[in-house]
Each structure stands twice: as structure tokens, then as C-alpha cells.
């Protein structure tokens, strides 16, 4: 088993840059996908839609069976020949060893992985594979679901999502192009980062939210039933990803511990300050709580919107919709007739009643037009 440790292959980390992939960049097949889980199966499904031959391999034979039934490719077997591209889609702790084995087994193939951490993997492959590591490119599609396994796979899982590639100075341009072409084939936006920059960003943007969601949801386990039953949409939104695969995420967090620990400690410091302030009674204590809430609002405003820039302030219209087939389609059609572009949609279900609250986000200057059009068509509007 190769060590995932090793020296930093880069100097100072750089800012995120999007990579322009030549239009001719097409995935060369056959592609061997090692790991028939959510990500591997989703990649296979998308490549098969494009007519690329895909072979599937996994230590869990049943996962391969499901992936094949989902249309992700055919089972890998003897006599098939060598793949042009190998995608290692397994938990990060095993990637370096498996990727190195693939490099040795298929001396002409480009090998890439899709794990959630990069520094240890890239260094581990360099240590294990030697010069062959030039054909290995670390990647990470920033997409997923709260469900795991091939049954949760979707061919459009990566559409318009960022897909990070972390090439090294040793990589050939053809290897980098092959990794980028894979992401492009999956309709993702290719982003180039150095491994440490990726791991630092992932700790904040992906790994910390998983810990927070799981820790918050864990408070519900032993809570009195009367406390849980009043749970609102805010709690549901925050714990949505808490149902993720515990084994996989324990591996991810362990593999990025050096980046996750500092950001987690900063959060703990903030929570400790608020907890201390809430047992006090002075004005300074109230100011501590207020400052955290203000910082939270300022941080939320930095999240990019769908266009990639700072999120604008949208107006909203909340519509009460019956929980029956076709209602969402009717609502969206009504918005279209009103010539209103919906920027976002949020659904909140009413517990115990067959109703849902649909919050439609749109440009503020179009709120009155949409509200009036929906009222004219008989829709129930809140507020």
C-alpha cells in the first residue's frame, strides 16, 4: 500500500482559474471506471449517452450489476483490451494505491481520480508510480447527492457544476487534456487548482458543511419527540446532507484532516463565543451574538449566484400549491405566460397537509407582475 504522504509538489498556491478546453477535446474510449458508486456510475451513464465504450469494475460485484442495469457500461473482464482512460472513483484512502496499479497495468492509459481530496493522493501516486505518474491527473467533480451508490446515479449529475483538475508540472499536455475532456463531456465547468488550494477550498466549501449537518442532525437522535415534530424548513435545509454515506465521509475527512481541522476550530471558536455570550447578561454579550449574525449575513452574500458573480437581492413570491401531479408544471407555465424569468425555486412542504409552499425568486421589478398574473389565474399567494 502506498503512503499518501509526501512533499508539496507546488510552491505558493494560486487562485482558481477556469480552463478553456479545445472544442475537439473528446473522451477517447474505451474508459475503465473503477468504482461503481454514485460518482463512477454517473460518469459511466453520461459517457454511454455520448457513445463512449465504458467498462465497470468494483470490489462489490452487486454494485457493478446495478450500474450495468442503469446503463453505465458493461462489466470489465478479460480479453477486452486496454482502456485509453481509467477513472478511479473510490474513497480517497485507497486511490493512490489503485491509481498506481492502473498506471502499471495500462502503460498507455491516462489515469485520473474523482476523490474529494487531492494533495495526499497526488503525492502518493508520485511516490508509488515514479515516472508513470506523469499520466495521472487528480480531479474532483464538485457534485454529489445525499444518497450514495449506483442507484442514486444520474447522467446529468455534473451538469454546469465545477470540476476541479489538479495537474502537476510532470503531467503531459495530453494527460491534462484527457482529464479536462472527461469533465467537459459530463457538461461540467473545468477549473484548475493546485492540490493544496483545492483541499483548503474543499475543507470550507464541502467538508465543514458535512460535519455541521451531521452534528446538527445528531442532536435530533435523542431529542424528545415533541421537539422534533415542530421542525421547520430551516432545520430540514441544514441537515439535508446528513444522510450521506458515513464510511465514505469518514475517509474523506481523515484524508483532509490538515485542512479541515483549522476551519473546524475557527467555527468552534465562534460557537464557543456565542455560547458564552448567551449565559451573560451585559450589552457586550449581546454584541457578540449580533456580530456573528452580521458576519454570517456578509458571508452568505459572498456566495456566487448562477451567473458566477455576487448573488443579487432577488424578490420573491410564495405560492400555495396542492400536492398532486402536474401542479408545479402549471405554476411554471403560468410564470412563463407572465413573461417572468424564475431565478430560483424553493419548495417547503406542509407537514400533515397535502400542500406545499413554493417560493419563486425573481428580479424585484418583476414581483408585482408575477403576483398579479398568478392571482388572476386563481393561485393562492402568501403575504
What predicted TM-score, i.e. pTM, was given to this entire model? 0.74
Between CA 219 and CA 213 the distance in angstroms is: 10
pLDDT of residue 7: 31
Select from 51, 68, 52 the least CA-distant residue to 60. Answer: 68
**Rounded distance between C-alpha atoms, residue 110 and residue 336, angstroms:** 46
Contact 342, 366 (CB under 8 A): no
What fold does the segment set 24-195 form as a domain? Rossmann fold (3.40.50)
CA distance 10 to 38: 31
pLDDT at 11: 32
Q: How far is Cα 199 from Cα 117, in angstroms, rounded to an integer?
A: 6
The fold for domain 315-382 equals: Alpha-Beta Plaits (3.30.70)
CA distance 140 to 164: 5
Nearest residue to 360 (alpha-carbon basis) of 304, 320, 311, 301: 320
> What does the block give as the cell for 248?
465514505
DSSP letter, residue 165: E
Parts of the chain belonging to CATH 3.40.50.720:
24-195
Which helix (H) or strand (E) covers residue 125, if one does?
Answer: helix 119-129
CA atoms within 13 A on the CB side of 306: 10
Question: Where does the chain hold its CATH 3.30.70.260 domain(s)?
Answer: 315-382
**What gap in Å lies between CA 344 and CA 351, rounded to an integer?**
23
CB-based contacts of 36, cutoff 8 Å, min separation 6: 44, 56, 57, 58, 60, 63, 64, 66, 67, 72, 89, 150
Terminal Cα-to-Cα distance of the chain (whole angstroms): 61
Architecture of domain 200-301: Orthogonal Bundle (1.10)
Q: Which residues of the chain have pLDDT under 50?
A: 1, 3-24
CATH 1.10.3660.10 domain extents, the chain: 200-301
Beta bridge partners of 111: 86, 136
Amino acid at each position: 500500500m502506498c503512503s499518501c504522504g509526501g512533499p508539496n509538489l507546488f510552491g505558493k498556491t494560486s487562485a482558481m482559474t477556469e480552463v478553456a478546453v479545445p472544442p475537439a477535446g473528446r473522451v477517447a474510449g474505451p474508459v475503465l471506471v473503477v468504482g461503481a458508486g454514485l460518482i463512477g456510475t454517473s460518469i459511466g451513464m453520461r459517457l454511454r449517452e455520448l457513445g463512449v465504450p465504458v467498462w465497470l469494475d468494483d470490489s462489490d460485484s452487486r454494485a457493478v450489476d446495478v450500474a450495468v442495469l442503469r446503463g453505465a457500461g458493461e462489466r470489465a473482464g478479460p480479453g477486452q483490451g486496454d482502456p485509453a482512460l481509467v477513472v478511479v472513483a473510490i474513497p480517497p484512502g485507497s486511490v493512490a494505491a489503485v491509481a498506481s496499479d492502473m498506471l502499471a497495468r495500462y502503460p498507455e492509459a491516462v489515469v485520473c481520480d474523482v476523490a474529494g481530496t487531492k494533495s495526499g493522493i497526488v503525492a502518493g501516486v508520485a511516490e508509488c508510480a515514479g515516472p508513470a505518474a506523469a499520466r495521472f491527473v487528480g480531479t474532483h467533480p464538485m457534485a454529489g447527492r445525499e444518497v450514495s451508490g449506483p442507484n442514486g446515479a444520474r447522467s446529468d449529475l455534473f451538469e454546469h457544476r465545477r470540476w476541479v483538475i489538479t495537474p502537476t508540472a510532470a503531467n503531459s499536455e495530453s494527460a491534462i487534456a484527457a482529464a479536462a475532456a472527461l469533465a467537459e463531456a459530463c457538461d461540467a465547468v473545468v477549473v484548475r487548482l493546485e492540490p493544496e488550494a483545492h483541499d483548503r477550498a474543499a475543507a470550507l466549501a464541502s467538508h465543514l458543511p458535512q460535519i455541521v449537518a451531521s452534528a446538527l442532525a445528531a442532536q435530533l437522535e435523542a431529542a424528545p419527540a415533541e421537539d422534533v415534530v415542530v421542525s421547520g424548513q430551516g432545520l430540514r435545509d441544514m441537515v439535508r446532507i446528513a444522510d450521506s454515506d458515513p464510511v465514505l465521509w469518514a475517509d474523506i475527512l481523515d484524508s483532509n484532516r490538515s485542512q479541515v481541522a483549522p476551519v473546524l476550530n475557527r467555527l468552534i471558536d465562534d460557537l464557543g463565543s456565542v455560547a458564552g455570550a448567551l449565559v451573560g447578561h451585559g450589552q457586550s454579550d449581546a454584541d457578540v451574538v449580533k456580530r456573528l449574525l452580521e458576519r454570517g449575513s456578509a458571508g452568505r452574500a459572498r456566495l456566487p449566484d448562477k451567473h458566477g458573480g455576487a448573488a443579487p437581492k432577488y424578490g420573491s413570491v410564495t405560492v400555495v400549491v396542492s400536492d398532486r401531479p402536474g401542479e408545479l408544471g402549471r405554476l411554471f407555465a403560468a410564470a412563463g405566460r407572465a413573461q417572468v424569468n424564475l431565478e430560483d425555486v424553493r419548495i417547503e412542504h406542509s407537514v400533515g397537509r397535502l400542500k406545499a409552499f413554493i417560493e419563486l425568486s425573481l428580479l424585484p421589478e418583476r414581483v408585482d407582475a408575477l403576483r398579479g398574473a398568478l392571482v388572476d389565474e386563481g393561485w393562492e399567494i402568501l403575504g
